[in-house]
Amino acid sequence: MRLGRFLCATGLALGWPVSIPLHSQEQAGAPPIRGFAVSRVAAQRALEARLQRIPAPDSAERHLRILTSEPHMAGTEGSKRVAEYIRDQLRSYGFEADLAHYKVWLPHPKEVKLELVTPEIKPLATPEDPFEWDKDTYNKNVVPGFNGYSPSGEVTAPVVYANYGLHEDYRRLEELGVRVEGKIVLVRYGRSFRGVKTRIAEEHKAAGVIIYSDPADDGYAAGDPYPRGPFRPPSGIQRGSVYYGSNHSGDPLTPGVAATENARRLRPEESKSLPRTPTMPINYRDAAEILKSLGGPRVPREWQGGLPFTYHVGPGQASVHMKLVMDYQLRSIWNPVGKLRGQNDDEWVILGNHHDAWVFGAVDPSSGTTAVLETARALGELARGGWKPRRTIIIACWDAEEFGLIGSTEWVEERVAELQQKAVAYLNLDSAVSGNAFGGSGTPSLKELVREVAREVTDPRTGRSVYEVWKENVERGRGRRRATSGTAAPPPAERDVPLGNLGSGSDYTPFFQHAGIPSLDMGFGGEYGVYHSVYDNFYWMKNFGDPTFVYHAAAARIAGLLLLRLAEADLLPFDYDAYGEEIERYVKDLEGVVKEQGAGKLELKPVSDAAAALTAAAARATRAISDFHGSGASSEAAKGAAINRALRNVEQALLSPGLASRPWYRHSIYAPGTYTGYEVVLLPGVREAVDKKDWDAAKREAAALADSLRRAAAQLDQAAKLAL
């Protein structure tokens, strides 16, 4: 029985109608809310109705115009000015707000040069084209196309085309008799995080890496390019970090500890997260000059991109000269953090997004920052009207996310013990609006809450609920597509809209993967082909993404309702029965992989038994809480608080001492893969050991996984015991 049903059973015992079938809701009159006592439902619904009236498109448009008024890459004065604007807005809304400051190892480019040297000399690495109607494209402070954390280097070498730069692509090159050692590899964006492309090229001893955006992926083959449409034009460049974030997120010189002024730091050469191979991005107009000069075999059919000629793998006539001069320094970053103090300051609900951008960042990140600010404005207006949240609400915007989730990671590392004691949940709104198709990812215990809130918010385009349109989009194969999180296939019996599982790629990572705080990531997606380019600016949003800013306001309403329910609930609306069911499905899938790759070499019965025990513990909690009556108001409040603590600690119980090869990642159920980048790996310790056929390591990881599942079950049994 799902935790939602045991909260419903609590409602039957305490009068808390947390989850009632629709027909029962209709019979009962006012619809109940998961986690709320009957006596509080009317007031909560009135509060939510007031909040929904506050976020406004014109206010969102003003925020986005200001946030995108200048380039604001991390480590620049522009980024600090954005941080100060956010802090000042939070203060004006009634939050206690200040800037958290860290000193982190950041590179800025001094020289980025690329030229074709054979069969002819031709300058490449050309800048993005300006357009007379888009003033931002003329801005002199736009940083040239570069890859964050590339080392400096100068190399002249022949070029080999390696498709998406995945392991299987290099194996195919070997089959074709092509070696990349000492060559510069040209790879296209897509299918993996860009840092994975550099890492694999480095393992194959390439001399350098050039990454380009092929028009087959986000250019004219996908749709009309800018300025006619929302996709990448020939000169568009995708900037981005090649930091090896699969080892850890955050400052590369202070893994596991906060990068405060006097922090003890590694030497750069000691860091395992800094690439050693020079890497740079170019546009597909320049890539065409290299590709059409390559010799060697014709590419496999699936490697052919969208440029109008036949691709070859090389090497051949094409050789290039690459020169990168990076200015590495300890640079200041700034996180504006605001607190709306609740009646209980020992429990925190946190909403956040990053504020730094490679250039103007209208979608990434400022659509999310705008929605965060509109949410804060709505909460502040409620507070001025006399409301005070039961739990403290924290709203933060992180710096240097683009380089490696740095601002959020340093903040979490500085106060990890306090967060594990107080944090109820973390909600993330990165790139919240690039269209009108809602979707999200999160820990399984919070997925049903997202669906419930989506039923309460109106979709601006259709007038129906966000949930109804979301479900229709899923059935049609549409929806928010984010590289930041993988999506597990829904169980066969699941008839509801699926949400993805959290891998990495945004600021939920340190909260969820390192500290074990239940987390969500969500937003409205669309046709967005100008990612990390100069064209991701106010003009693009006004003409393609959300011209009337109604979806920015809708994102704020969804975030606001989620915060209100988590901050105000009598019993926290977690669904751990759903979590147990998902884990049992992952274990069954893993058993199939083990059977294929090493039948008899790994016994997973202790893991499957522990997963079943977790689901059974949730059922026991259901029965116990359904019988919980309490013995008076103060007794009920004390018991409710104790039950909430036990429920809140289940996620942390799923933490391990750390994955064997990268101990910063501590979640035993979810982690980004070493070679998948953003995408999630399920049961990562065991799965990665199995993939390596390291059966001794797999046995150790399986034992650790079983232990974590038993700890989580014990927390649920503790909740049951408290309810008796």
Residue 14, pLDDT above cutoff 60: no
Whether residues 603 and 563 fall in one domain: no
Does the residue 249 lie in any domain? no
- Please count the structural domains in the chain: 2
Q: Does residue 373 sit in the same domain as residue 458? A: yes
460 in the same domain as 385 = yes
My answer on whether 548 and 414 are in the same domain is yes
* Per-residue buried b or exposed e for 69-84, using 16+ beta carbons within 10 Å of the residue's own CB: bbbbbbbbebbbebbe
Q: Is the same domain home to 505 and 400?
A: yes
Is 59 within a domain?
yes
Looking up residue 382, the CATH number of its domain turns out to be 3.40.630.10
* Amino acid letter, residue 439: G
d(CA 262, CA 259): 8
Instruction: Please name which of 586, 568, 458, 573 lies closest in space to residue 520, comparing C-alpha atoms.
Output: 573
Residue 541 sits in the same domain as residue 603: no
Residue range 217-231, pLDDT digits in tens: 999 999 999 999 999
Q: Distance between CA 438 and CA 523 in Å, rounded?
A: 6
What pLDDT band is residue 484 in, cutting at 50, 70 and 90? very low
Residue 85 has pLDDT above 50, yes or no: yes
227 domain residue, yes or no: no
CATH assignment of the domain containing 659: 1.20.930.40
Q: Both 606 and 471 in a single domain?
A: no
Q: Which residue, 520, 545, 568, sits at the end of a domain?
A: 568
| pLDDT score for 207 | 98
User: In terms of domains, do 365 and 408 share one?
Assistant: yes
Nearest residue to 311 via CA among 216, 235, 239, 225: 216
User: Does residue 55 form part of some domain?
Assistant: yes
Q: Rounded CA gap, 438 and 426, in Å?
A: 19
Does residue 443 fall inside a structural domain?
A: yes
pTM of the model: 0.94
For the cut 60, the answer to whether the pLDDT of residue 493 exceeds it is no
Note whether 560 and 587 are same-domain residues: no
**636 lies in a domain?**
yes
User: Do 25 and 48 belong to one domain?
Assistant: no
Among 568, 595, 616, which residue terminates a domain?
568
Distance CA 209, CA 277 (A): 7
Token pair recorded at residue 695: 């059966």
Q: Is 401 a catalytic residue?
A: yes
Boundaries of domain holding 479: 42-104+332-568
- The predicted pLDDT at position 619 comes to 85
In a domain, 426, yes or no: yes
70 inside domain: yes
Q: What is the mean pLDDT of residues 530-555?
A: 98
Residue after which a domain boundary falls, among 568, 596, 621: 568
pLDDT at 17 over 50: no
* Number of Cα atoms under 13 Å in the Cβ half of residue 359: 28
- Which pLDDT score is estimated for 635? 61
Which of 716, 567, 563 minimizes the C-alpha distance to 645?
Answer: 716
- From the candidates 70, 347, 401, 701, give the one annotated as an active-site residue: 401
Spatial distance between the Cα atoms of 446 and 443, rounded to a whole number of angstroms: 6
Helix (H) or strand (E) holding 165, with range, is none
**What is the per-residue pLDDT across 661-695, written as a single tens digit (0 to 9) for each?**
899 999 999 999 988 878 999 999 999 999 999 99
Sign for the pseudo-dihedral over CA of 203, 244, 281, 528: positive
N-to-C CA span, the chain: 18
Do residues 476 and 354 share a domain? yes
Lowest mean pLDDT among 186-200, 319-333, 589-603: 589-603
One domain, residues 81 and 23: no
Q: What are the tokens at 123?
A: 């300058």
Name the more confident of 707 and 5.
707
